[in-house]
Amino acid sequence: MSDDSTAGSAGTDGNATYGRKAFSRSKSHFADRITADGRDGWPVEAGRYRLVVSRACPWASRALIARRLLGLEDALSLAVTDPIQDDRSWRFTLDPDGRDPVLGIRYLHEAYDAREKDYPGGVSVPAIVDVPSGQLVTNDYQQITLDFTTEWSALHRTGAPDLYPEPLRAEIDEVMDGIYRDVNNGVYRTGFAHEQSEYERACHDVFRRLEQVSQRLADRRYLVGETITEADIRLFTTLVRFDAVYHGHFKCNRYKLSEDPVLWAYARDLYQTPGFGDTVDFDHIKRHYYQVHTGINPTGIVPVGPDLQGWLTPHHREQLGGRPFGDGTPPGALR
């Protein structure tokens, strides 16, 4: 498991470390890419790979959303871990006999071991495993979704949106960069800060960036261009967790998402878009954060709130125009 059992002691979150030093996140160790031409030895192939996620995890949720939007469900099967890790990390206790039915393993670390014996780093989701060999291929959460869009295109559904349109890539990358630093990772820097000044700086960064993003979204429906892109996926996965866990557990509490009219409407718009809200499991999210990070929540008590009804209320963002799927179509109902 990633976490410490006493308040204030050290721990990890994926390849990230927190504790006595400032929270830092290093590069993914397994960064092979699954590509159309198979240049790393892993060609895109329907049915060959298995995506392993925790529905609690924002980085894994990106992959869940992109997989749904692009219609990769048949090509890339899905394993969902228990939201609570034990001392051997992510486990398949939600499956019969506690084993993933396709990979036949009880713990995700078995796929890491199959790839590199005695790998000393953390075991993290999202992970993509090669089913025939049982080996981990990649846990590079920054690249996985981009490759779904650009490398897996032969297997996309008819009507799949372009989540990373070529002419907009520079702008998307720039927007995502600031959101990653100050929001996606910023909430972790805030939550795992070990000193008052470090906490205050990180918290300030989170809200300064949220204010900037809120201004950007006041008169445009999506972050870049007229349609949903990878940038929206990456902002959404943090926003959807904000009031449920980051506001309380990570002390990002200058205000709630639901107190910013623009961001709250933007997040509801995406939540109500097929492929976004239907991947979200608030129970997994809350139990994971509040029960696993015992260093910052020693009792493991999971709060009862917030009330989730608001997510389904009208957002009126269609008045801003925009075409969520561009020339494409929404994904079909969740299977």
Ligand X SMILES: N[C@@H](CCC(=O)N[C@@H](CS)C(=O)NCC(=O)O)C(=O)O
134: Cβ contacts below 8 Å, ≥ 6 apart: 103, 104, 105, 110, 111, 114
Nearer to ligand X, 128 or 257 (CB): 128
Kindly report the number of other CB atoms within 10 A of residue 283's CB atom.
Answer: 12
Helix (H) or strand (E) holding 226: none
Instruction: Determine if 297 is a binding residue for ligand X (CB under 6 A).
Output: no
Whether 57 is catalytic: yes
CB of 123 to ligand X, least distance (A): 6
CA 285, 276, 25, 120 dihedral sign is: positive
Of the candidates 49, 107, 164, 188, the residue annotated as catalytic is 188
Instruction: Determine if 161 is a binding residue for ligand X (CB under 6 A).
Output: no
For ligand X, the binding residue among 71, 122, 161, 295 (CB under 6 A) is 122
For ligand X, the binding residue among 44, 52, 57, 63 (CB under 6 A) is 57
The one segment of 7-15, 197-205, 261-269, 277-285 that binds ligand X by CB under 6 A: 7-15
Whether 188 is catalytic: yes
For ligand X, the binding residue among 53, 75, 125, 224 (CB under 6 A) is 125
Using an 8 Å Cβ cutoff, are 202 and 190 in contact?
yes
275: Cβ contacts below 8 Å, ≥ 6 apart: 65, 68, 69, 330, 331
Nearer to ligand X, 85 or 190 (CB): 85
Instruction: Determine if 143 is a binding residue for ligand X (CB under 6 A).
Output: no
What part of residues 86-105 is at the interface with ligand X (CB under 6 A)? 89
DSSP classification of residue 36: T
Return the residue matching tokens 């009031």: 243
Q: 3-class SS at 260?
A: coil
Active-site amino acid positions: 57, 188
Residues at the contact surface with ligand X, assessed by CB under 6 A = 2, 12-16, 25, 28, 57, 59, 85, 89, 122-125, 139, 141
